[in-house]
């Protein structure tokens, strides 16, 4: 256990030390100031604006910003859907894969344009290299860029004084991809190739195993897609078993670096927020709240997995290493628990173990991280603006407790901002509980559930939590590739993405137009331990009240039954 705890501490230290300077760099970028990459990339940026007819100095009202986001996402969906339906007619398809079915193409296109990357297919048996590179990898960049751009606009709204604009979406998107995602992905790709990840255009290779059987080993341009899947909190694997496959994640070193990549940009956005609002204490407070929730979730997952299954205590089964079912021996319980927590805290969805094989409470923590909206670091950009919706609600509740009009960053939080934040909060309950309830009672949906009893309900809850939360990880025992779930989960992904973005842009637009009020002796400070504690409590209470009944029937009931010796 001690080596695992030391690794957790090392992970936290390295993540924080890298996220701080990266956050300051991203803040300079969105403020329009020069960076160390500007001499090389600024001419490319200006050239792109000239070709696309973008006026970089022309700001957009929040409504125009939101329309630009929706229009770009709709166009991305149309192009990717067409590409997947005509895959057999396009080049770089040495395996001769056919087109995707209409429902699977819909689900996949929605998944990648919403930064979810839920995969109801096996990558190595379904997607051509053209679809992987030109379709999915491109969306890995631009869907992540959309989240980053929206977050930058929302931060401007929280800090702006009597302004009508939040910036320019096309400029923010271009800078997100060109200055942040692309350079980091190039470095990450080179690292992964060094570690042994393939980056080629070879067809699948057939080899003879030691037992004399024939095995097909998939090849392809994997390293470049794996790099952006982690850095952009996308998570879609080049292979079906995702980051448990040695070709995606060859060594303990690659495993550690990929886990850093999952949370690097989301963590950096906390410090970017502090710099952009001219008060780093605010960013540190949000980072601290996220860190507390992350540590709590990791502790629950790790302790459950390292304890193993009590049903095996009377059997000759070695559980000294903990619950190793569904885990890579080379990673063990520690790396599996840390990855599961990081990937569901972030809107990532990549996995290096099968969450369906976790202990009931070990699976509960990742599930709850998704259900609260993935605000514990969350996706690139989306995690921070999701957390800001909870900040608005927390400030409102604090104002009620002290009998003052709630304020945040010198702006009065009034009924409009609170109502819009509540709308954003309700996205997860509608998607998880509403659509999940339908999946739990309709025969056409129940056919996809592998297990009976509470674990079967957990499979449904996890699937719709992952889709609505734009996470993309799977419980593994859930047969998702059927027309019903492909369609309904596609709807859940759209709900979780755009019904969060539009209300939060509206909040930012409302705050941007307001005057600034100077802090007084009665102003509730939003940067100290008391506020951090209150913010964490609001997230846990709202999440608990909303999802506890369903969790009580799923993983909690399964854990109680397991302790009583009952199996299903």
**Are residues 204 and 216 in contact, defined by beta-carbon separation less than 8 angstroms?**
yes
State how far the Cα of 342 lies from the Cα of 351, in Å rounded to an integer. 10
**Are residues 411 and 395 in contact, defined by beta-carbon separation less than 8 angstroms?**
no
* pLDDT confidence of residue 95: 85
The mean predicted confidence, pLDDT, of the chain is: 91
* pLDDT confidence of residue 192: 96
**Are residues 400 and 517 in contact, defined by beta-carbon separation less than 8 angstroms?**
no
Among 409, 418, 414, 417, smallest CA distance to 517 is for 409
How distant, in Å, are the alpha carbons of 167, 277, 377, 396, 417 from that of 504? Answer: 15, 17, 17, 16, 9
Burial 505-521 (b: 16+ CB within 10 A, else e): bbbbbbbbbbeeeeeee
- The distance in angstroms from the start CA to the end CA of the chain is 31
Q: By three-state DSSP, how is residue 30 classified?
A: helix
Close Cβ partners of 316 (under 8 Å, ≥ 6 residues apart): none
**Residue recorded with tokens 């979406």:** 169
**Are residues 478 and 94 in contact, defined by beta-carbon separation less than 8 angstroms?**
no
pTM of the model: 0.94
**Residue recorded with tokens 């399964």:** 558
Q: How many CB atoms lie within 10 A of CB 487?
A: 15
Backbone angles phi, psi at 41, to 5 degrees: -95, -25
Tokens at 475, concatenated? 């419980």
User: H helices of 447-528, where?
Assistant: 453-468, 483-512
Q: What is the pLDDT along the chain (568 residues), one digit of tens a residue?
A: 688 999 999 999 999 999 999 999 999 999 999 999 999 999 999 999 999 999 988 999 999 999 999 999 999 999 999 999 999 999 999 889 999 999 999 999 999 999 999 998 888 889 999 999 999 999 999 999 999 999 999 999 999 888 999 999 999 999 999 999 999 999 999 999 999 999 988 877 888 878 888 887 878 888 999 999 999 999 888 888 889 999 999 999 999 999 999 999 999 999 999 999 999 999 999 999 999 999 999 999 999 999 888 877 655 555 667 888 889 888 999 999 999 999 999 989 899 999 999 999 999 999 999 999 889 999 999 999 999 999 999 999 888 877 777 889 988 899 999 999 999 999 999 999 999 999 999 999 998 888 888 999 999 999 999 999 999 888 877 888 999 999 999 999 999 999 999 999 999 999 999 988 776 666 788 898 999 999 999 999 988 789 999 999 999 999 999 888 887 7
State how far the Cα of 170 lies from the Cα of 168, in Å rounded to an integer. 6
The tally of CA atoms less than 13 A away on the side-chain side of residue 210 is 0
Among 499, 292, 274, 474, smallest CA distance to 377 is for 292
State how far the Cα of 534 lies from the Cα of 212, in Å rounded to an integer. 62
Backbone angles phi, psi at 216, to 5 degrees: -95, 125
pLDDT digits (tens, 9 = 90+) for 402-424: 777 788 998 889 999 999 999 99
For residue 208, the surrounding DSSP H or E stretch is strand 205-208
* pLDDT confidence of residue 522: 67
The tally of CA atoms less than 13 A away on the side-chain side of residue 270 is 29
Tokens at 511, concatenated? 């705050």
State how far the Cα of 153 lies from the Cα of 48, in Å rounded to an integer. 21
pLDDT digits (tens, 9 = 90+) for 212-222: 888 878 788 88
Any idea of the CA torsion for 384, 389, 395, 400, to the nearest 10 degrees? -160
Q: How many CB atoms lie within 10 A of CB 450?
A: 13
**Residue recorded with tokens 């631009």:** 142
Q: By three-state DSSP, how is residue 152 classified?
A: helix
**Are residues 505 and 150 in contact, defined by beta-carbon separation less than 8 angstroms?**
yes
State how far the Cα of 238 lies from the Cα of 229, in Å rounded to an integer. 9
Q: How many CB atoms lie within 10 A of CB 93?
A: 17
Among 336, 335, 309, 328, smallest CA distance to 320 is for 309
pLDDT digits (tens, 9 = 90+) for 34-62: 999 999 999 999 999 999 999 988 999 99
Q: How many CB atoms lie within 10 A of CB 17?
A: 9
């Amino acid at each position: 256990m001690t080596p695992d705890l030391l690794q957790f501490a090392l992970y936290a230290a390295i993540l924080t030390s890298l996220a701080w300077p990266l956050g300051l760099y991203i803040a300079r970028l969105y403020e329009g100031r020069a960076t160390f990459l500007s001499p090389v990339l600024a001419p490319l940026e200006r050239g792109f604006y000239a070709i696309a007819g973008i006026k970089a100095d022309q700001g957009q009202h929040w409504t125009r910003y939101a329309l630009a986001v929706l229009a770009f996402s709709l166009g991305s969906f149309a192009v990717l859907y067409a590409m997947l339906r005509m895959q057999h007619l396009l080049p770089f398809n040495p395996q001769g894969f056919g087109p995707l079915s209409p429902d699977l193409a819909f689900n996949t296109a929605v998944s990648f344009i919403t930064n979810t990357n839920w995969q109801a297919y096996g990558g190595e048996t379904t997607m051509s290299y053209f679809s992987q590179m030109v379709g999915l990898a491109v969306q890995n960049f631009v869907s992540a860029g959309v989240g980053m751009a929206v977050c930058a606009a929302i931060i401007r709204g929280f800090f702006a004084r009597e302004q009508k604009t939040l910036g320019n979406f096309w400029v923010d998107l271009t800078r997100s991809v060109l200055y942040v995602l692309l350079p980091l992905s190039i470095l990450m790709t080179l690292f992964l190739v060094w570690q042994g990840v393939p980056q080629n255009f070879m067809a699948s290779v057939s080899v003879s195993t030691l037992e004399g059987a024939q095995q097909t080993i998939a090849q392809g341009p994997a390293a470049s897609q794996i790099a952006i899947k982690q850095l952009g909190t996308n998570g879609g694997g080049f292979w079906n078993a995702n980051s448990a496959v040695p070709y995606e994640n060859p060594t303990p070193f690659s495993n550690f670096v990929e886990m850093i990549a999952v949370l690097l940009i989301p963590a950096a956005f906390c410090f970017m927020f502090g710099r952009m609002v001219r008060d780093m204490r605010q960013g540190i407070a949000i980072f601290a709240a996220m860190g507390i929730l992350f540590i709590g979730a990791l502790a629950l997952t790790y302790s459950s997995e390292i304890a193993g299954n009590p049903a095996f205590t009377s059997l000759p089964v070695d559980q000294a290493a903990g619950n190793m079912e569904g885990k890579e021996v080379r990673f063990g319980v520690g790396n599996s628990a840390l990855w599961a927590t990081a990937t569901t805290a972030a809107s990532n969805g990549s996995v290096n173990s099968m969450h369906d094989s976790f202990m009931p409470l070990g699976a509960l923590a990742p599930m709850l991280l998704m259900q609260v909206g993935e605000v514990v670091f969350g996706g690139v950009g989306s995690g921070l603006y999701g957390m800001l919706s909870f900040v608005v609600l927390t400030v409102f509740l604090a104002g009620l407790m002290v009998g003052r009009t709630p304020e945040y960053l010198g702006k009065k939080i009034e009924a409009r901002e609170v109502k819009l934040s509540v709308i954003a909060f309700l996205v997860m309950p509608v998607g998880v509980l509403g659509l999940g309830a339908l999946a739990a009672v309709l025969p056409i949906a129940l056919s996809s559930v592998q297990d009976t009893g509470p674990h079967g309900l957990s499979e449904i809850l996890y699937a719709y939590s992952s889709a609505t939360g734009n996470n993309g990880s799977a419980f593994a025992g859930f047969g998702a590739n059927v027309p019903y779930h492909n369609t309904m989960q596609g709807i859940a992904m759209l709900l979780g993405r755009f019904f969060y973005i539009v209300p939060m842009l509206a909040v930012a637009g409302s705050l941007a137009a307001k005057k600034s009020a100077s802090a007084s002796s009665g102003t509730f400070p939003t940067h100290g331990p008391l506020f951090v504690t209150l913010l964490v409590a609001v997230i846990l209470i709202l999440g608990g009240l909303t999802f506890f009944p369903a969790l009580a029937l799923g993983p909690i009931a399964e854990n109680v039954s397991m302790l009583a010796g009952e199996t299903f």
